[in-house]
Amino acid sequence: MPKKTLIAVLACGIGTQAAAQDNAVEVLHWWTSGGEGAALSVLKDALDEEGIAWNDMPVAGGAGTNAMTAVRSRVTAGNPPTAVQLLGYDITDWAEQDALGNLNAVAEAEDWETRIPEAIQEFSRYEGDWVAAPVNVHSTNWVWVSRPIMDEIGVTEAPASWDEFMQIAERVEEAGYMPFGYGGQPWQDAVVFDSIALGVGGQEWYQSAFVDLNPEAIDSDTMVAALERMGEIRAMVDENFSGRDWNLATAMVINNEAAFNIMGDWAKGEFLNAGLTPNEDFYCWRVPGTAEHVVFISDQFAMFDVGEERAPPQERMASLILSEEFQVAFNTVKGSVPSVMGISDAEFDACGQQGMADLAAANANGTLVGSQGLSHTNRAAVKNAFNDAISAYFNGDLSAEDAAAEMAETVAFASR
Amino acid sequence: MKRGLPFMALSPGIVLVLAGVYGFIAYTFAISMTDSRILPSWNWVGFENYDLLFQLRAWEGSLVNLAIFATLYIGICLALGLLLAIIVDQRIRMEGAFRSIYLYPMALSFIVTGTAWKWFLDPGIGVESVVRSWGWESFSFGWIKDGDLAIYTILIAAIWQTVGFAMALFLAGLRGIDAEMLKAARVDGARGMMLYRRVVIPQLLYTAISVFVILVFNAVRTYDLIVVMTAGGPGRATWLPSVFMYQYTFTRNEMGIGAASAIVMLALILAVLAPYFWWELRGGKERR
């Protein structure tokens, strides 16, 4: 008799636990910094109100390399998390493995097709089916500029061309400051190179080299010219740049030690955290030569195939991600702009408003291009083939010509 | 039953080792023969991954780095460890204290060692900036930021961590030498260096081989130290095969090539160990 009660109690326990799990989402992400965590809790609270529990799986570490290892083991074990923060082609990679679910019902009901920019849909959909919910749009062709240094040398407007930009940089150096705050990690080299390559080669060449992987475009004079332009920056960074984290490079501008930091708009979050105001304490310029374009990356929650029982909370989560309330609350903190068009920009700061206007214009004009350095033009293997060569060039291991040749060779290998 | 009991007691361990070590070695080998990219697949491609692997400049660079690193690491650890052991063996005062000081780095994980050395060596906050703040303005020590020299900074940290261990083993070896024999050598007129060169060091051969084998393992599996100190940079300057393996398997979605590189690393270790095993087995027979 006691044994039976025990079993009943146990069974009861298991039963409630299972029920609780059915009405929960398990979310793997690498938004672990204070501000990011706060931004994400908006989503968490909204789900909580509807009785959906949030099981947090934060995996610390930059662009999510560690997170990918965790996802791989969960999927292999047949127990994927509900949603995983993924970038660009990483989503496509997982979709190809038949690991992702299907959000067509929500997407159709809420008209995602017209609300989300087309260039971003390319990553949220796989073979026409919706598999991911875009959280935000980051743009990487920004220069973050120290206003006090600009005031000191008498610069009030963004330079119109790269040459003008370099002239200002020289004046910065003469005034006794470091022109560029630079973080020498391969992905940061690649982010800087994105804008420079686009500025040198134009959108058509960028598409041909980085998306279509046309070997003649890769191993070309244009690529060499782009690398050499990046090399101009190499002479204007401190000797201690290599291995520096991006936020430390940004801090050099915040502390007015360096004048410029070419980095995605997540850098703006650092300025805001330091209590600075756009246009009063710092400027946000488009990288000269790319003013017409927006180089984007979009953080998305890829929705994994979790079976029918766990699907309803997953769909609710996807729907809430695209709600105006979450988009505004999250993106004002994160430094990015909403992934949904037609949201009011009243809550955003000056740089955010410019970012939203630029995105809308780029979407309308077809000048919205994916970031090569951060997985928005090709698969991880190809991306890293480019990034390796860019980084080797910037660190002086390869000449510009050799780097372009190595790109063509290793990219052909990686896309085999 | 009595004879079966020890075997039964051991069998869970045997099963675990068979499955957990040799099973996974076999699994890795199998993966290396397939076209696995992001997840394992079972499309056989034979030795194609090995062929591709040896065409990669990144792999070539990793092997060159390993050759530099392993040679210097093993050589310096053996020499310095022996030297320290001989010094400590001079019946000096506070011998225990010295022994502990040299041995303590062993107690730290590579993550701690790596972080500490990364800070020491960082030109912005470490040795260079301290010496400059003392007034020697032109002093420069930026090896860790220099693609040609960065691998040697890894070497410094690795030696610092392991040399005490080599010393401890050599010291045990020295203490194991028959005191009567040393007396006899002294009676025959051996003194100082001569005593060590002709009598003591030859007897440490067995110890030296044990230390050598352990150091080979350490060198090939060095990974955490690099990830913490340089993350493989600047550029790709401090990649070792272990870093290559992780990078290709997990960040480049080239699981087949990653597995092939792991098998090549295993082969490298076996190439060193096979003569050792052979020598051990032969030695065992002679003793019997």
Q: CATH number for the domain including B272?
A: 1.10.3720.10
Q: What share of chain A is helix, strand, coil (3-state, %, to 5)?
A: 55, 15, 30
Crossing angle (nearest 10°) for helices A34-49 and A311-321:
120
Residue A399 at interface with chain B, using a CB cutoff of 8 Å: no
- Whether residue B26 is contained in a domain is answered as no
**pLDDT band of A9, cuts 50, 70, 90:** very low
pLDDT in tens, A152-161: 999 999 999 9
Look at chain A and count its residues. 416
Which pLDDT score is estimated for B280? Answer: 77
Best of A66, A91, A187, A242 to mutate (most B CBs within 10 Å, chain B): A242
Subunit contact A72:B39, Cβ cutoff 8 A: yes
**Cβ contacts of residue B67 below 8 Å, gap of 6+?**
none
**pLDDT band of A6, cuts 50, 70, 90:** very low
Cα separation, B80 vs B85, in Å, equals 8
Which pLDDT score is estimated for A12? Answer: 42
CA distances from A157 to A279, A292, B76 (A): 11, 17, 58
Domain count, chain B: 1
- Does residue A96 surpass a pLDDT of 80? yes
Helix or strand or coil: residue B94?
Answer: coil
Q: Chain A residues with CB inside 8 Å of B52's CB?
A: 413
Q: Chain B residues with CB inside 8 Å of A76's CB?
A: 39-40
- Does residue B99 surpass a pLDDT of 70? yes
Which pLDDT score is estimated for B234? Answer: 85
- Whether residue B3 is contained in a domain is answered as no
Q: Which of B40, B233, B247 minimises the CB distance to A242?
A: B233
Q: Which of A240, A392, A414 minimises the CB distance to B236?
A: A392
CA B28 to chain centre: 22
pLDDT in tens, A42-70: 899 989 999 999 998 887 655 556 677 78
Q: Are A201 and A226 in contact (CB under 8 A)?
A: yes
Two tokens at A249? 């490079």
**Cβ contacts of residue B286 below 8 Å, gap of 6+?**
none
**Cβ contacts of residue A217 below 8 Å, gap of 6+?**
A205, A208, A209, A223
Subunit contact B236:A413, Cβ cutoff 8 A: no
Which pLDDT score is estimated for A146? Answer: 96
Helix (H) or strand (E) holding B117: helix B110-121
Subunit contact B235:A243, Cβ cutoff 8 A: no
B193 vs B43, more confident: B43
Predicted model pTM = 0.82
Residue A240 at interface with chain B, using a CB cutoff of 8 Å: yes
- Does residue A110 surpass a pLDDT of 50? yes
Residue B54 at interface with chain A, using a CB cutoff of 8 Å: no
Distance from the A45 Cα atom to the nearest Cα atom in chain B, whole angstroms = 33
Q: What is the ipTM of this complex?
A: 0.74
Beta bridge partners of A28: A57, A84
Distance from the B111 Cα atom to the nearest Cα atom in chain A, whole angstroms = 16
Two tokens at B150? 């960065």
- Does residue A17 surpass a pLDDT of 70? no
- Whether residue B34 is contained in a domain is answered as no
Tell me which residue of B120, B80, B248, B178 sits closest to A380, measured CA to CA.
Answer: B248
pLDDT in tens, A314-364: 999 999 999 998 999 889 888 899 999 999 999 999 999 999 999 999 999
Residue A279 at interface with chain B, using a CB cutoff of 8 Å: no
Two tokens at A141? 């062709």
Which pLDDT score is estimated for A222? Answer: 96
Q: What share of chain B is helix, strand, coil (3-state, %, to 5)?
A: 75, 0, 25
| B84-100 mean pLDDT | 83
How does strand A299-303 pair with strand A368-370? unpaired
In chain A, the domains with their CATH numbers are 21-135+301-344 (3.40.190.10), 139-296+368-414 (3.40.190.10)
Range of the domain at B209: 58-287
Helix (H) or strand (E) holding A87: strand A83-87
Q: Are A410 and A381 in contact (CB under 8 A)?
A: no
Q: Which of A72, A240, A392 minimises the CB distance to B123?
A: A240
Which pLDDT score is estimated for A21? Answer: 53
How does strand A258-262 pair with strand A368-370? unpaired
- Does residue A269 surpass a pLDDT of 80? yes
In the block, tokens 């272990």 appear at B242
**Cβ contacts of residue A284 below 8 Å, gap of 6+?**
A142, A143, A144, A145, A265, A268, A278, A350, A351, A354
| A73-84 mean pLDDT | 88
Q: Are B232 and B226 in contact (CB under 8 A)?
A: yes
Two tokens at B159? 């030696």
A363 vs B279, more confident: A363
**Cβ contacts of residue A247 below 8 Å, gap of 6+?**
A267, A270
Which pLDDT score is estimated for A307? Answer: 87
CA distances from A202 to A207, A231, A369, B21, B56 (A): 9, 19, 11, 53, 31
Cα separation, B151 vs A220, in Å, equals 33
Cα separation, A226 vs A195, in Å, equals 10
Q: Chain B residues with CB inside 8 Å of A397's CB?
A: 147, 235-237
Distance from the A244 Cα atom to the nearest Cα atom in chain B, whole angstroms = 10
Subunit contact B38:A69, Cβ cutoff 8 A: no
Cα separation, A410 vs A398, in Å, equals 14
Residue B61 at interface with chain A, using a CB cutoff of 8 Å: no
Cα separation, A276 vs A3, in Å, equals 66
**Cβ contacts of residue A1 below 8 Å, gap of 6+?**
none
Residue B122 at interface with chain A, using a CB cutoff of 8 Å: yes
Q: Phi first, then psi: what are they for A324, rounded to 5°? A: -60, -40
Subunit contact B123:A68, Cβ cutoff 8 A: no
Angle at A339 between CA A342 and CA A226, to 5 degrees: 120
Subunit contact A239:B145, Cβ cutoff 8 A: yes
Please give the full DSSP string across B146-195, using - where no structure is assigned: -TTTHHHHHHHHHHHHHHHHHHHHHHHHHHTS-HHHHHHHHHTT--HHHH
- Does residue B235 surpass a pLDDT of 50? yes
Q: Is B89 left (phi over 0), alpha (psi -120 to 50) or beta?
A: alpha
How does strand A53-58 pair with strand A24-29? parallel
- Does residue A32 surpass a pLDDT of 80? no
Cα separation, A144 vs A137, in Å, equals 18
Residue B253 at interface with chain A, using a CB cutoff of 8 Å: yes
- Whether residue B197 is contained in a domain is answered as yes
Tell me which residue of B56, B58, B235 sits closest to B149, measured CA to CA.
Answer: B235
Nearest C-alpha in A relative to B231? A243
Q: Phi first, then psi: what are they for A286, rounded to 5°? A: -75, 145
Nearest C-alpha in B relative to A396? B147
Beta strands in chain B (DSSP E): none
Cα separation, B254 vs A224, in Å, equals 28
- Whether residue B18 is contained in a domain is answered as no
| A295-308 mean pLDDT | 92
pLDDT in tens, A199-209: 999 999 999 99
**pLDDT band of B242, cuts 50, 70, 90:** very high
pLDDT in tens, B27-49: 999 999 998 888 888 889 989 89
Q: Chain A residues with CB inside 8 Å of B58's CB?
A: 388
Cα separation, A68 vs A76, in Å, equals 12
Q: Chain A residues with CB inside 8 Å of B124's CB?
A: 240
pLDDT in tens, A234-262: 999 998 888 888 889 999 999 999 999 99
Please give the full DSSP string across B62-93, using - where no structure is assigned: HHHHHHHHHHHHHHHHHHHHHHHHHHHTTT-T
Q: Which of B233, B237, B253 minimises the CB distance to A380?
A: B253
Cα separation, A123 vs A112, in Å, equals 13
Subunit contact B147:A397, Cβ cutoff 8 A: yes
- Whether residue B67 is contained in a domain is answered as yes
How does strand A368-370 pair with strand A294-297? parallel
B234 cis-preceded (ω within 30 degrees of 0): yes
Q: Phi first, then psi: what are they for B7, rounded to 5°? A: -65, -45
- Chain B, 134 to 153: residues with Cβ < 8 Å from chain A are 142, 144-145, 147
- Whether residue B16 is contained in a domain is answered as no
- Whether residue B177 is contained in a domain is answered as yes
CA distances from B14 to B5, B25, B277 (A): 14, 15, 20
Nearest C-alpha in A relative to B125? A240
- Does residue B54 surpass a pLDDT of 50? yes
Cα separation, A390 vs A193, in Å, equals 8
Q: Which of A75, A94, A384 minimises the CB distance to B252?
A: A384
Subunit contact A69:B52, Cβ cutoff 8 A: no
